[in-house]
Chains A and B, each alone.
Chain A
Amino acid sequence: MNGSERNLLITVGAALGGLAFLGVARILPSNNISFIADAVVAVGLFGILALSLNLEYGFTGLVNFGKAAFYMIGAYASAMFSFALAPVIFRQFGETVQAGLLMFTGGLVGGVLVSALAGFLVSLPSLRLREDYLAIITLVFAEIIRVILRNTYFYDDVGGILGLRHVPSIFPVVQGRYELYPLTNAVFVMVFFLIFYFVANLIVNSPFGRVMRAIREDETAAQALGKNTFRVKAQVFSVGSAIAGASGAIYAQYLGYTSTDLFLPITTFQIYIIAILGGVANNNGALLGSVFVILLDRGARVIKDYFGSVPFLSAIDPLNLQFILTGILLVMFMMFRPEGLLRESKLKTLPD
C-alpha cells in the first residue's frame, strides 16, 4: 500500500466514522431501532443491486446506466403479479402468513422474469457494438421507461404519479406492533443478500466467470479462443437485470407501495459509487460500499437537523451535498483508483 492509497483509505474512513457517530448520536436518545433497521434494509437492497452491477460492470466490463430502471421494473412487475395472484390466493388460504408468502413468491418470480427479459431486450441491439453504445442505450431506456410508467394509469387510480399502492407485504403487521416490521424485513433482506452473494460468487468463480473476465480484459482474444462473447454478454446482462429485479420486488413488498419517483437516475449512480468504492469485481465490496452510501444517505438526513441551527451551514441542503459528494467521489475514483478500495477477488477454481 503506497502513500496515496493510505491517504484515500484514511479520508474515507474518517468520513464513515464521522457519519456513523452523528447517526448514533441522533438515534440513541430516541432509541429508534426502526431507523437502524430501515437503514439495514436499504443496505441489503443496494447491496444486492451492487452485486448485480458488479457482474456486469466489474467482471464483464459492461456499462449499464439503466440499473434503476431494472430495479423499478422488478418492483412494478412483482407488484402487478402479486395483484393478479391475490384473489386466487386469498380464496385458497385466507389472510394467513402462507398467503403473504405465496403472493410474494409469485411476485418475485414474475418481477425477476420480466426484469431479465427487459435487460435482455435492451442489451440486444448494442452488444455487438462498442461498449459506449450500451451505456447510451441503457441511459436513454431508463429515463424513457420511467417517464412512460409515470404517465401511464393502469386503472383510474393505479399507476401514474400515484404509483402502485397496497402491494402485498410478506410480513403483515401483527397486533399493531409496527416497530417489528422493519426489523423482520431487515433480517429477510439480509438473507436475500447472502443468497445473491453466494450466487454471484458461484457465477464468477465458474468457467463462465472466467469468460466474463476474459471479455472485460480483451474481447477479441476471448473470441479468438472460440468463446461466443455476444451470448455471454447477453446472459450476463439478463442475470444482472434479474438480480436487480429481485431487489425491486423485495423493495416493493417492504414499502407496500412503489412509484417511479423512487427510481430516479440518481439511484443508478449511487449503485455505481457502491460498486466502485467497495472494489470493482469484488463481491465483498458490494456490502462495504452499500454501508458507506447508506450512511451517507441517512447521515445527510440526520445532519439536516444539526445544520439548521448553524448560521452558515443552514443554507446548504445536505441532500444536495450528498449527491455532490457522490459525484466528486466517482470522478476521484476514476482518476486515482478506478479499481476501487478492495482489490479484485482472486479466482477460486477447484484443483483438477
Chain B
Amino acid sequence: MVELTLNFAQILVNSVITGSVFLLASLGLSLTYGLLKFPNVAHAEFFTFGAYMAITFGEFWKLGFALGAVGGFFASGLLGLAAYVTIFRPLTRRGASLIHMTVASVGLGLALRFSIQQVWGRQIILFKEEFGKFDIGPVRLTDLWVTIIIAAIVLGIGFHLLLSRTKLGKAIRATADNPVLAMASGINTEKILVIVWFLGSGLAGVGGVFKGADARIAPIMGFEVIITAFAVVILGGIGSFYGTVVASYILGFAENLGVVALFYLDLTIEYRTAVSFIILVAVILLKPEGLAQIQLRAIKRNSTA
C-alpha cells in the first residue's frame, strides 16, 4: 500500500468546497420542503438544468463563465417557479396528500431529466474554461474553488440578513412557521412561496454550475447530489436555514473524511455515497427533528436559566 502523508489543511479546504456545493444544492430543497411539507425529488433536476444552461450560455453562446452561471441561476429559478405554478400550487389547492405531491415531483423529475438527456445527449460534457491554480502554504486552490467558497459565504450572509433584517425575511419565517396564521396577519403567502421557489431552485442551479465546472456535466448529476441533499435537509432540520448551513458542512466534511478512510482501508472511493446514508439513518433514529431543534432547545434553556 502507498504511504501517504495526510494533508489535513487540504482535507479541510476540500470539505469547505464540498459543503458549499451541498449548501447551494440543498437550501432550496429544505425551504420548499418546510413551506409545502413535501420532499421535492425534482429539485435534483433544477441542479442539473442550471449546469446545462450555464454551459450553453457560457460556452456554446460564448458569453463567458460568469454570465453563464448567472444564466444558470435564472434558468433554474424560472424552471422551479414554473414547476410550482403549474404543478405544485394546483396540487396544494386541491388538497393533495403528501404522498401525491411526492409522487408528482418524482414524475416531474423523470420528465425533466430525460428531456435534458434528449436535448443535450446522455454523454458527459466538460467545461472548457481553464481555472487558474495556485498554492497557499500546503493547500492547492483554484479560482473556481475560491469562487465557490465566496459564493457560499455571500449566500450565507445574504440569507441571514434577509431572514433577520428584512420584512420579507420575517414574512418567510412566519409563512414557514404557520402559513394560515401568516395569511391571517396580512402576509401575502402566495408571493412568499413564489419567491422561495424561484430563489431555491436558482441556487440549486448555481450549485449545479459549480459542480459541473469542478467535475463533469451529465444528466444524472442532479440525482447523485439529491441523495446527499436529503441527508443535509433531514440533518439540518426541514425548512431551517441555519440548520442547512451547518449540516451542509458536516456532510461535506464527512464525505471527505470518508474518502480518506476508504483510501486507507484500500476500498473504492465509490463507497463514499454510503456516508450520507449512514448519517441519514443515524439522524432519523436519534434526532428526526434535525439540528435546528437542538439549537432552539439550547437557546430556550439559556433564556430560562
- A317 and B118 contact, Cβ closer than 8 Å, known pairs A63-B103, A326-B110: yes
Minimum Cβ distance to chain B for residue A214 (Å): 16
CB distance B38 to A265 under 8 Å? no
- Most B CB atoms within 10 A — which of A57, A321, A324? A324
In angstroms, how far is the closest chain B Cβ from the Cβ of A40? 26
Q: Is A331 within 8 A of B108, CB to CB? A: yes
B237 proximal to A (CB < 8 A): no
Task: Give A307 to B94 CA distance when docked, in angstroms.
Answer: 39
A144 and B96 form a contact (CB under 8 A): no
Using known A-B contacts A136-B39, A136-B280, A137-B281, determine if residue A334 contacts B107 with beta carbons closer than 8 Å.
Answer: yes
* Contact pick for A334, options B96, B223, B274, B276, CB 8 Å: B96
Secondary structure class of chain A's binding surface, majority of residues: helix
Centre residue among A131, A276, A331 by max chain B CB count within 10 A: A331
Question: Is there contact, CB below 8 Å, between A324 and B115?
Answer: yes
Interchain CB contact (< 8 A) of B91 among A141, A151, A327, A335: A335
Interface size on B, residues (CB 8 A): 45
List residues of chain B with CB within 8 A of the CB of A335: 87, 90-91, 94, 96, 104
Known: A132-B38, A144-B273, A316-B118. A324 touches B280 (CB 8 A): no
Query: Are A131 and B99 touching (Cβ within 8 A)?
Result: yes
B230 contacts A328, C-beta separation under 8 Å: no
Instruction: Indicate whether B154 reaches chain A with its CB closer than 8 angstroms.
Output: no
Q: How many angstroms between the C-alpha atoms of A151 and B274 in the bound complex?
A: 12
By the criterion CB–CB under 8 Å, are A132 and B114 in contact? no
Q: CB < 8 Å: which of B98, B99, B104, B276 contacts A331? A: B104
A8 at the interface (CB under 8 A from B): no
Question: Please, which residues of chain B bring their CB within 8 A of the CB of A328?
Answer: 107, 111
Instruction: Let me know if B271 and A269 touch, CB within 8 A.
Output: no
Contact (Cβ within 8 A) A265 B223 = yes
Q: How far is the CB of A250 from chain B (nearest CB, A)?
A: 26
Knowing A132-B38, A141-B277, the reply to whether A338 touches B106 (Cβ < 8 A) is no
B-side interface mostly: helix
Task: Report the Cα distance A65→B117, complex, angstroms.
Answer: 22
Cα distance A327–B39 in the bound complex, in angstroms: 17
**Any A CB within 8 A of the CB of B51:** no
Report B93 CB to chain A, min CB distance, Å: 11
Asked if B231 is at the interface (CB within 8 A of a chain A CB), the reply is yes
- Min Cβ gap B165→A in Å is 32
In the complex, which residue of chain A has the Cβ closest to the Cβ of B33? A132
Q: How far is the CB of B20 from chain A (nearest CB, A)?
A: 22
B257 in contact (CB, < 8 A)? no
Is A139 an interface residue, CB under 8 A from the partner? yes
Which listed residue (B37, B113, B271) contacts A151, Cβ 8 A? B271
Chain B 26-37, CB-CB to A under 8 Å as 1, else 0, gives: 000000000001
Determine if A140 and B231 form an interchain contact, defined as CB atoms under 8 angstroms apart.
yes
Residues of B within 8 A of A137 (CB): 280-281, 284
Interface centre among B38, B107, B111, B270 (most CB of A within 10 A): B107
A136:B285 contact, CB within 8 angstroms: no
A323 within 8 A of B: yes
Other A-B pairs, 20, CB within 8 Å; known A136-B230, A335-B96 = A133-B284, A141-B277, A143-B273, A144-B276, A144-B277, A147-B270, A276-B103, A321-B118, A323-B111, A323-B113, A323-B114, A327-B106, A327-B108, A327-B110, A327-B111, A328-B111, A330-B103, A334-B104, A335-B87, A335-B94
- 26 residue pairs of the A-B complex, CB under 8 angstroms, read A130-B98, A131-B99, A132-B98, A133-B234, A135-B39, A136-B280, A139-B227, A140-B276, A144-B277, A147-B271, A150-B270, A151-B268, A151-B271, A265-B223, A266-B110, A272-B103, A320-B114, A321-B114, A323-B113, A326-B110, A330-B107, A331-B87, A331-B104, A331-B108, A334-B103, A335-B94
- Which residue numbers of A lie inside 8 Å of B, CB to CB? 57, 61, 63, 65, 125-126, 129-133, 135-137, 139-141, 143-144, 147-148, 150-151, 265-266, 269, 272, 276, 316-317, 320-321, 323-324, 326-331, 334-335, 338
